[in-house]
Amino acid sequence: MWLVQRLEKKNFPTEGVKGVDGIVRFDYMGSSEFEWGALPKALKSMREVAEISTEKIVLQKLEHVVRRPSTKSGAQSKETCKAYFVGPASHAEQAKELFVSELTGENKKRLKEPTYIQYAYLGRDSFGTSVDDSHYSRYIGWWVIDGQPPWVLFKDEAVAREWMKLAYVRVPKEKPNVRL
Protein backbone atom coordinates (compact mmCIF):
# COMPACT_ATOMS: atom_id res chain seq x y z
CA MET A 1 0.00 0.00 0.00
CA TRP A 2 1.52 3.27 -1.12
CA LEU A 3 1.21 6.73 0.32
CA VAL A 4 0.87 9.18 -2.56
CA GLN A 5 1.07 12.97 -2.16
CA ARG A 6 -0.92 14.86 -4.78
CA LEU A 7 0.92 17.87 -6.20
CA GLU A 8 -0.86 20.99 -7.45
CA LYS A 9 0.03 23.76 -9.84
CA LYS A 10 1.71 26.69 -8.21
CA ASN A 11 -0.14 29.63 -9.78
CA PHE A 12 1.91 32.37 -8.24
CA PRO A 13 5.62 32.97 -7.72
CA THR A 14 6.87 32.55 -4.19
CA GLU A 15 9.77 34.84 -3.44
CA GLY A 16 12.52 33.43 -1.30
CA VAL A 17 11.21 29.86 -1.47
CA LYS A 18 13.82 27.38 -2.64
CA GLY A 19 13.48 23.74 -3.55
CA VAL A 20 10.53 21.73 -4.78
CA ASP A 21 7.93 23.73 -2.87
CA GLY A 22 8.87 26.66 -5.08
CA ILE A 23 7.34 24.88 -8.10
CA VAL A 24 4.43 22.87 -6.63
CA ARG A 25 1.90 23.05 -3.82
CA PHE A 26 1.18 20.02 -1.69
CA ASP A 27 -2.51 19.13 -1.60
CA TYR A 28 -3.94 18.64 1.89
CA MET A 29 -4.30 14.88 2.17
CA GLY A 30 -6.03 14.58 5.55
CA SER A 31 -4.19 11.47 6.77
CA SER A 32 -2.05 11.30 9.86
CA GLU A 33 0.68 9.61 7.78
CA PHE A 34 1.42 12.98 6.21
CA GLU A 35 2.07 14.54 9.60
CA TRP A 36 5.35 14.41 11.47
CA GLY A 37 7.67 15.22 8.61
CA ALA A 38 6.78 12.56 6.02
CA LEU A 39 7.52 14.86 3.07
CA PRO A 40 10.93 16.09 4.27
CA LYS A 41 11.86 12.47 5.10
CA ALA A 42 10.87 11.37 1.58
CA LEU A 43 12.91 14.17 0.00
CA LYS A 44 15.89 13.29 2.17
CA SER A 45 15.56 9.64 1.13
CA MET A 46 15.49 10.63 -2.55
CA ARG A 47 18.65 12.67 -2.16
CA GLU A 48 20.45 9.95 -0.23
CA VAL A 49 19.70 7.41 -2.95
CA ALA A 50 21.00 9.79 -5.59
CA GLU A 51 24.21 10.33 -3.60
CA ILE A 52 25.09 6.78 -2.56
CA SER A 53 23.45 4.54 -5.15
CA THR A 54 25.02 3.50 -8.42
CA GLU A 55 21.54 3.45 -9.93
CA LYS A 56 20.76 6.26 -12.30
CA ILE A 57 17.97 8.75 -11.58
CA VAL A 58 15.95 9.15 -14.77
CA LEU A 59 13.21 11.21 -16.31
CA GLN A 60 11.17 8.84 -18.46
CA LYS A 61 8.04 9.48 -20.50
CA LEU A 62 5.20 7.02 -19.90
CA GLU A 63 2.24 6.75 -22.27
CA HIS A 64 -1.05 4.92 -22.26
CA VAL A 65 -3.87 5.05 -24.80
CA VAL A 66 -7.30 5.40 -23.21
CA ARG A 67 -10.58 4.84 -25.00
CA ARG A 68 -13.13 7.59 -24.51
CA PRO A 69 -16.80 6.64 -24.11
CA SER A 70 -18.78 6.29 -27.31
CA THR A 71 -20.11 9.41 -28.95
CA LYS A 72 -23.66 9.74 -30.29
CA SER A 73 -22.46 8.30 -33.59
CA GLY A 74 -21.23 5.20 -31.75
CA ALA A 75 -17.57 5.87 -32.45
CA GLN A 76 -15.07 5.59 -29.66
CA SER A 77 -12.26 8.08 -29.54
CA LYS A 78 -8.80 7.38 -28.18
CA GLU A 79 -6.56 9.65 -26.20
CA THR A 80 -2.88 9.20 -25.44
CA CYS A 81 -2.15 10.19 -21.87
CA LYS A 82 1.45 11.02 -20.98
CA ALA A 83 3.17 11.12 -17.62
CA TYR A 84 6.78 11.83 -16.77
CA PHE A 85 8.44 9.58 -14.21
CA VAL A 86 11.30 10.91 -12.10
CA GLY A 87 13.16 8.45 -9.93
CA PRO A 88 15.48 5.45 -10.02
CA ALA A 89 15.32 3.60 -13.34
CA SER A 90 14.41 0.34 -11.57
CA HIS A 91 11.11 1.91 -10.37
CA ALA A 92 9.87 3.06 -13.80
CA GLU A 93 7.82 -0.12 -14.31
CA GLN A 94 6.08 0.39 -10.94
CA ALA A 95 5.31 3.95 -11.96
CA LYS A 96 3.84 2.79 -15.29
CA GLU A 97 1.67 0.21 -13.46
CA LEU A 98 0.35 2.86 -11.07
CA PHE A 99 -0.28 5.31 -13.90
CA VAL A 100 -2.19 2.81 -16.05
CA SER A 101 -4.22 1.35 -13.18
CA GLU A 102 -5.25 4.79 -11.95
CA LEU A 103 -6.12 5.94 -15.49
CA THR A 104 -8.19 2.89 -16.39
CA GLY A 105 -9.57 1.88 -13.01
CA GLU A 106 -8.37 -1.68 -13.73
CA ASN A 107 -6.06 -3.63 -11.43
CA LYS A 108 -6.06 -0.71 -9.01
CA LYS A 109 -3.13 -0.54 -6.64
CA ARG A 110 -3.79 -0.31 -2.94
CA LEU A 111 -3.22 3.28 -1.94
CA LYS A 112 -3.73 5.03 1.38
CA GLU A 113 -5.30 8.07 -0.34
CA PRO A 114 -6.92 8.60 -3.76
CA THR A 115 -4.74 10.02 -6.53
CA TYR A 116 -7.51 11.38 -8.79
CA ILE A 117 -5.21 10.68 -11.77
CA GLN A 118 -8.16 9.57 -13.88
CA TYR A 119 -10.06 12.77 -13.09
CA ALA A 120 -7.01 14.96 -13.72
CA TYR A 121 -6.33 13.43 -17.14
CA LEU A 122 -9.78 12.47 -18.42
CA GLY A 123 -12.29 14.54 -16.45
CA ARG A 124 -14.29 11.39 -15.68
CA ASP A 125 -14.27 8.30 -13.49
CA SER A 126 -13.90 4.65 -14.59
CA PHE A 127 -17.66 4.42 -15.20
CA GLY A 128 -17.54 7.31 -17.67
CA THR A 129 -19.24 9.75 -15.31
CA SER A 130 -18.01 13.30 -15.84
CA VAL A 131 -16.52 15.14 -12.91
CA ASP A 132 -15.83 18.81 -12.26
CA ASP A 133 -12.73 19.15 -14.42
CA SER A 134 -11.77 22.54 -13.00
CA HIS A 135 -11.28 21.03 -9.55
CA TYR A 136 -9.12 18.08 -10.61
CA SER A 137 -7.15 19.80 -13.36
CA ARG A 138 -5.03 21.48 -10.69
CA TYR A 139 -3.28 18.17 -9.99
CA ILE A 140 -0.04 18.01 -11.94
CA GLY A 141 1.95 15.40 -10.03
CA TRP A 142 1.87 12.42 -7.72
CA TRP A 143 4.73 11.74 -5.32
CA VAL A 144 4.96 8.19 -3.96
CA ILE A 145 6.55 9.23 -0.69
CA ASP A 146 6.84 5.82 0.93
CA GLY A 147 8.32 4.06 -2.10
CA GLN A 148 11.73 2.59 -1.46
CA PRO A 149 13.02 5.05 -2.56
CA PRO A 150 10.34 7.67 -3.25
CA TRP A 151 9.55 8.62 -6.85
CA VAL A 152 7.18 10.96 -8.67
CA LEU A 153 4.93 11.24 -11.75
CA PHE A 154 4.11 14.53 -13.50
CA LYS A 155 1.70 15.55 -16.24
CA ASP A 156 4.13 18.15 -17.58
CA GLU A 157 7.68 17.42 -18.75
CA ALA A 158 8.99 20.90 -17.87
CA VAL A 159 7.81 20.56 -14.26
CA ALA A 160 9.32 17.06 -14.10
CA ARG A 161 12.68 18.43 -15.28
CA GLU A 162 12.57 21.23 -12.72
CA TRP A 163 11.66 18.76 -9.95
CA MET A 164 14.55 16.53 -10.97
CA LYS A 165 16.92 19.46 -10.81
CA LEU A 166 15.65 20.65 -7.41
CA ALA A 167 14.86 17.35 -5.65
CA TYR A 168 18.13 15.64 -6.41
CA VAL A 169 20.42 18.56 -5.74
CA ARG A 170 23.08 17.87 -3.18
CA VAL A 171 22.36 19.93 -0.09
CA PRO A 172 25.56 21.04 1.59
CA LYS A 173 25.78 20.10 5.22
CA GLU A 174 26.15 23.07 7.47
CA LYS A 175 29.43 23.33 9.29
CA PRO A 176 29.00 23.62 13.02
CA ASN A 177 29.55 27.09 14.34
CA VAL A 178 32.33 26.47 16.81
CA ARG A 179 34.14 29.26 18.57
CA LEU A 180 37.60 28.69 19.95
Mark the ranges of the chain whose per-residue pLDDT is less than 50: 175-177, 180
CB 99 within 8 A of CB 63: no
Q: Where are the domains of the chain?
A: 4-9+19-69+77-167
pTM: 0.81
Provide the CB-side half-sphere exposure for 43 (13 A, CA). Answer: 16
Measured at the CA of 36, the angle between CA 33 and CA 42, to 5 degrees, comes to 75
**Closest to 87 measured CA to CA, from 10, 29, 145:** 145
Model confidence pLDDT, tens digit, residues 14-56: 677 777 878 888 888 766 566 677 887 888 888 887 777 777 8
**Element (H or E) spanning 61, and its range?**
strand 57-67
pLDDT at position 7: 93
